Amino acid sequence: MAEPKKLFIKTYGCQMNVYDSERMAEALGTQGYVMTDTAEAADMILLNTCHIREKASEKVYSELGRLKPLKDLNPDLKIGIAGCVAQAEGEEIMRRAPVVDLVVGPQSYHRLPAMEAQVRAGQKALDTEFPAEDKFEHLPRRPLPNRAPTAFLTVQEGCDKFCAFCVVPYTRGAEVSRPVDRILSEARDLAERGVREITLLGQNVNAYHGAAQDGAWTLARLIRDLARIDGLARIRFTTSHPNDMDDDLIAAHGDCDKLMPYLHLPVQSGSDRILKAMNRKHTAADYLRLIDRLRAARPDILLSGDFIVGFPGETDADFEATLDLVRAVGYGQAYSFKYSARPGTPAAERPGVAPDVADARLQQLQALLTEQQRATQAGMVGREVKVLFEKPGRMAGQMVGKSEYLHAVHVTSDAVAIGDIARVRILASGPNSLAGEVLGLV
């Protein structure tokens, strides 16, 4: 019996890329591939790339330089580039990097088995089209073995918002929602294999309008139907746009027990002038009113956000408006970045803020966000939370999981196992996690 071929995938970027990497592995599993943890052991290496941050493509070429000696040692090794850099620069990658055998965009990876056969036959393979067919319909069924207790599930792809700084509409295409019955079927399948928590994914997930026999469903309706699945205890979703946070989805945070009290809702800036330049189509006041409505529906909700500093034209007053918004919201956690121009986007042609000014602003913003995050975590001490345990900790007898609020929580106990949900009293707060004691299983 032939040895199975080994596949190594390195994933960059967002949760959707993590999900895509899983599905690519499943697609190549039909060709006899099994996963390996090291590039050195692989017969095929895939780099699943992200195009959001600065110098994304250069990082890919740097990684290819590190991989080239492996191909020199093993001429049968095949190397592929997937994801958003592949979509944006596929032909250039093929021209500039002869070590690459295969380039596939994020909407075409269901064609990987045919592309793999092509490269095994000695040809190069490039597919960065936006195919008419639904890739999910052509992917194999998820693997049979039991899974980890948490899983990602893509429900929507693409974006129609065209923020001035963002490449997603160009690399992922227009907004497309998966049909309701396929999502429910995949979710039931995951629950039957031991998944307790599902995170619904989309570039603009709350724009979801999936087709069903009785018309298009909203994300709120989908969440309520998913909540009826036996064994599924928790539902999350990311990433959302403020303009698509409708009344029913806000209400779901208050009336759907399985929808966790955590929401990642990027705003990017607190300055109306910069928000307009970013083409966000909302104001800071719109965002703050939305936060008030969410907290009225679910008072304990923990909020997360994204911020860009140093956007072209940002003044000291604009930056101060961002700090004011952060203080008004009080984030449990957030992500902040210095603006980096993405080729092909409208903002890329505008003069930027001086790098030292942008650096100073980023440090000041991150200090405020860190202060808020630590205050939120300190406020958890003494409270009881419900923790879904996902893996053993670093110390003997330790288990690590996530609270409803997505805080990492570790306990020392032999009373819980992976996949259990337990009541935990928080005893201490560390820089990035909480420590607690188990009170009992839920």
Q: Which residues define the annotated binding site for [4Fe-4S] cluster?
A: 14, 50, 84, 159, 163, 166
Distance of CA 2 to CAs 7, 41, 78, Å? Answer: 15, 16, 18
Phi, psi of 6 (to 5 degrees): -105, 135
By three-state DSSP, how is residue 117 classified?
Answer: helix
CA angle 30, 200, 246 (to 5 degrees): 150
- 340 torsion bin: left (phi>0), alpha (psi -120 to 50), beta (else): beta
Q: Which helix (H) or strand (E) holds 250?
A: helix 247-255
Annotated binding site: 14, 50, 84, 159, 163, 166
> H/E element holding 48?
strand 44-49
CB atoms within 10 A of CB 282: 16
* Rounded-to-integer distance, Cα 418 and Cα 360, Å: 43
The H or E element containing residue 284 is helix 284-297
